[in-house]
Structure 1
Amino acid sequence: MLLLALFALTSLVTTGRALSCTKCSSSSNSDCTGGTVNCPADNECSTTYIEIITQNGTSTNIFRSCSPFKQCNMTGSSTFPGGSLRMAISCCSINNTCSPDKPILPQYNTTAQNGKSCSQCLSINSEQCTPDNSMLCTGNETRCMRLARTDIGYQTSALAFQGCATESICILTNQLFTTSGITTTYNYICNGASLGLHHGALMPLIIFALLLKLLL
């Protein structure tokens, strides 16, 4: 009897701490409403706003669901060949149903070079892309990032790119959103950027250093 009482009490405490969050998505700048989902203990209710620009145009997505504490209230950006990504995540942690406001995207990255460079590539309708050159990073995008996005459901699409990214966006490893019959996955892989030299500019410096060594 005592064990049953303790179990019931534990269940009540656990249930009382659970957050019930709105779960929905929108592929436009408008907000979204929908059903609810119970969040894990280390999550908060979140609204994720993502904008991706490529030569095919601008796409935006809003996702309401749950996010880990460390991802809350972050903003970040990435630049890749012929395009860019901006994202922001807002959170709230009020019991019962909680729907944070749509976050504001960060300002567009500046054109001032920061001395870093990254391998670059872009592939539309594919989860893979092969770097064929390097790009100079600008503003506060001091990391290199590879991203693969897939949409699977009644409609299927994919996007992959490599380029420069902010440190903040590198706290993400993957995001999974399932709403309205479509599962959207973002996979992020980051690493350190190189000194800001294109491959073509690096070879003359190597040759010069070798000649200098022979002459001395």
Structure 2
Amino acid sequence: MMCLLELFFILAALANTGLSLSCMQCSSTTTSCTGSSVTCSSGNKCGVIYTTTTAGSSTTSSYAMSCLSSDQCSLSGSLTTNDMRLKTAASCCSTDNCIPSLPSLPGDSSVYNGVTCRSCLSASSTWCYTSDTIKCTGNENMCLLQSTEISGSQSLATAIRGCSTQSFCNLGSQSSSANGLSSSIKFVCTSGSSGLRQGFYLPAVICLFFLKLLI
């Protein structure tokens, strides 16, 4: 799978274009790319979302440039399951077709923070549940259930449970449509005492693994 976070932001940017800043739109598996210029909605900036996903001994990267809102420009966080770890960060600049600096990804930590979460992955559904658990480390002190659904000219449904940083939980559930694709991304986080967390859920947003940049 490829990370869908960049795809959502690109869809949102295309769905809300207006007379404002022009930004390059492209994606790559390296740390740079070039592409066509798009007109952003008013108040948006030119942004980069950089993500790495580690599964076993293999690490893959994704890099995407497009229009981002100001709150998306400060995104930095990570999530971990028993099978993988994802780290992502964003940066922005504010002139026509500028290229933002490469954002710094969150660091690693092996220090258990007292939180234990369920852990599972689904590549075919917006729901997963398991008795498997994972001990959270560092700043990943929230349990998440993330679901992503994309429909239209291409379709995809994914779900993840694991440990997450609070930063992902602050973004809120969102949806968008553009170029024949509709996306709905929901990130549900638990808050409460240490130990295996269950019960009260708050909506949030993220995603993993994205389709090729806009067909």
- TM-score norm. by structure 1 comes to 0.68
State the Cα distance separating 1:31 from its structure 2 match: 1.4
The structure whose residues are more often helix, as a share, is 1
131-140 or 41-50, which deviates more: 131-140
* Larger Cα-atom Rg: 1
State the Cα distance separating 1:48 from its structure 2 match: 0.2
User: Aligned in 2, Cα 1:51/1:120: closer, same or farther, shift over 3 Å?
Assistant: same
The aligned counterpart of 1:84 is: 85
Q: What secondary structure sits across from 2:23 in the alignment? A: strand
The aligned counterpart of 1:23 is: 25
Question: 1:54-133 counterparts in 2 under 5 A?
Answer: 54=55, 57-94=58-95, 96-108=96-108, 110-133=109-132
State the Cα distance separating 1:102 from its structure 2 match: 2.4
Which residue type is aligned with residue 172 of structure 1? Answer: L
Partner Cα separation in structure 2 for residue 174 and residue 191 of structure 1: 15
The aligned counterpart of 2:143 is: 144
Percent identical residues: 35
**Would you say the 8 A contact 2:191–2:197 is kept in 1?**
no
Report 1 or 2 for greater relative contact order, CA contacts < 8 Å, sequence distance ≥ 6: 2
Which residue type is aligned with residue 68 of structure 1? Answer: S
Question: 1:179-198 counterparts in 2 under 5 A?
Answer: 187-192=186-191, 194-197=193-196
**Would you say the 8 A contact 2:93–2:100 is kept in 1?**
yes
User: Aligned in 2, Cα 1:34/1:19: closer, same or farther, shift over 3 Å?
Assistant: same
User: Aligned in 2, Cα 1:147/1:60: closer, same or farther, shift over 3 Å?
Assistant: farther
State the Cα distance separating 1:146 from its structure 2 match: 2.2
Structure 1 residues not aligned, in runs of 5+: 1-13, 200-216
State the Cα distance separating 1:187 from its structure 2 match: 3.9
Q: What secondary structure sits across from 1:168 in the alignment? A: helix
The aligned counterpart of 2:203 is: none
Which residue type is aligned with residue 132 of structure 2? Answer: N
Which residue type is aligned with residue 102 of structure 1? Answer: L
**Would you say the 8 A contact 2:150–2:156 is kept in 1?**
yes
The aligned counterpart of 2:43 is: 42
User: Aligned in 2, Cα 1:35/1:91: closer, same or farther, shift over 3 Å?
Assistant: same
Partner Cα separation in structure 2 for residue 75 and residue 105 of structure 1: 7
Partner Cα separation in structure 2 for residue 79 and residue 90 of structure 1: 22
47-56 or 144-153, which deviates more: 144-153
The superposition leaves residues 133-190 of structure 1 with CA deviations (integer Å, 9 ceiling, x where unpaired) of: 3322111111122223567788866542111111122223367899999888754332
User: Aligned in 2, Cα 1:151/1:183: closer, same or farther, shift over 3 Å?
Assistant: same
User: Aligned in 2, Cα 1:183/1:86: closer, same or farther, shift over 3 Å?
Assistant: farther
Which residue type is aligned with residue 76 of structure 2? Answer: T
154-163 or 165-174, which deviates more: 154-163
